């Protein structure tokens, strides 16, 4: 089963994808985590994408499609993939369909998290991430046991440089202009399920899990 989790920046995609991938034995593939890892390594790819990420703009399709589709070829023994942050444009969605169908696979279900803009800014400015294991926290809603330190590996948490109010505005613009039309694309295929992302983490997880179970039949 191959799933996509859609939603605006800060909707809770990464938080939920980490949990769902454990429960359903899926490989969690986050395009943002992949790009941040490249930047951390100081690779040529990392250098090419930095300016777009820092400005809150989408990385060009040609770059991200190659990166993610290469990763997809290695499914690593899991029961499928849970894509988080990809696709973000129509061109990315059609490339994904093409590659999956070439391997007799497809996107089986798209989970769309709905969260209003008023909540997004608080979620994003309060987000802290672990640069070692990519765990996601929030200073108030989901704090680590010890302030500023990852529960899993003790690494000091960081505040992403693009998680500022100014950059969030640009990221929301990119979302509404380029990504939200994907809801219609997947709705027409009959595979879109919308889930209220404003509940607490466990409440959203329960709703998403129920949607997956009902699709699994
Ligand atoms: P996305 O991957 O969609 O950008 P994240 O999963 O990183 O979003 O979540 C954004 C921020 O909101 C994080 O700080 C996370 O801890 C927090 N968060 C996620 N889900 C919830 C929720 N249901 N209620 C409150 N805060 C949440
Ligand atoms: P995220 O971690 O999902 O918030 O992504 C962080 C940044 O990485 C985005 O603001 C974009 O600059 C870039 N990015 C991640 N995924 C994609 C994608 N599918 N298409 C284009 N840019 C992306």
56: containing domain: 2-115+191-216
Confidence of residue 77 (pLDDT cuts 50, 70, 90): low
Q: How far apart are CA 82 and CA 68, in angstroms?
A: 12
Whether 140 is covered by a domain: the verdict is no
Query: pTM here?
Result: 0.97
Q: Are strands 127-129 and 136-138 parallel, antiparallel or unpaired?
A: antiparallel
Q: What total number of domains does the chain contain? A: 1
Q: Is 8 in the pocket of ligand 1 (CB under 6 A)?
A: no
Contact of 136 with 10, CB cutoff 8 Å? no
Q: Is 64 in the pocket of ligand 2 (CB under 6 A)?
A: yes
Whether 124 is covered by a domain: the verdict is no
Q: Is 56 in the pocket of ligand 2 (CB under 6 A)?
A: yes
Per-residue pLDDT at 28 exceeds 60: yes
Whether 168 is covered by a domain: the verdict is no
Q: Is 9 in the pocket of ligand 1 (CB under 6 A)?
A: yes
**Ligand 2 center from residue 32 Cα (angstroms):** 5
Whether 22 is covered by a domain: the verdict is yes
Please name the residue whose Cα sits nearest to atom 9 of ligand 1: 12
Domain with residue 27: its CATH number is 3.40.50.300
Confidence of residue 132 (pLDDT cuts 50, 70, 90): very high
Q: How far apart are CA 215 and CA 108, in angstroms?
A: 8
Across 5-9, 57-61, 99-103, 105-109, least confident range: 99-103
Phi, psi for residue 82 in degrees, rounded to 5: -120, 105
Residue of 18, 123, 175 to test ligand 1 pocket, by largest number of atoms within 8 Å of CB: 123
Which pLDDT tens digit goes with each residue over 45-71? Answer: 999 999 999 999 999 999 999 999 988
């Amino acid at each position: 089963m191959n799933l996509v989790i859609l939603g605006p920046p800060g909707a809770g995609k990464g938080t939920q994808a980490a949990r769902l991938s454990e429960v359903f034995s899926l490989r969690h593939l986050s395009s943002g985590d992949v790009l941040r890892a490249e930047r951390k390594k100081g690779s040529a790819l990392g250098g090419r994408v930095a300016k777009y990420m820092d400005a809150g703009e989408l990385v060009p399709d040609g770059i991200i499609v190659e990166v993610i589709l290469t990763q997809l070829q290695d499914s690593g023994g899991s029961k499928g993939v849970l894509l988080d942050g990809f696709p973000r444009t129509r061109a990315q969605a059609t490339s994904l369909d093409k590659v999956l169908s070439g391997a007799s696979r497809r996107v089986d279900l798209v989970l769309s998290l709905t969260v209003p803009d008023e909540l997004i800014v608080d979620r994003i400015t309060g987000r802290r991430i672990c640069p070692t294991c990519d765990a996601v926290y929030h200073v108030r809603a989901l704090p680590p046991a010890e302030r500023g330190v990852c529960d899993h590996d003790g690494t000091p948490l960081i505040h992403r440089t693009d998680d500022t109010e100014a950059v969030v505005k640009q990221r929301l613009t990119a979302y509404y202009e380029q990504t939200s039309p994907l809801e219609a694309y997947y709705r027409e295929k009959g595979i879109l399920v919308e889930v209220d992302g404003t509940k607490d983490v466990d409440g959203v997880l329960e709703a998403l899990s129920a949607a997956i179970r009902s699709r699994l039949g």
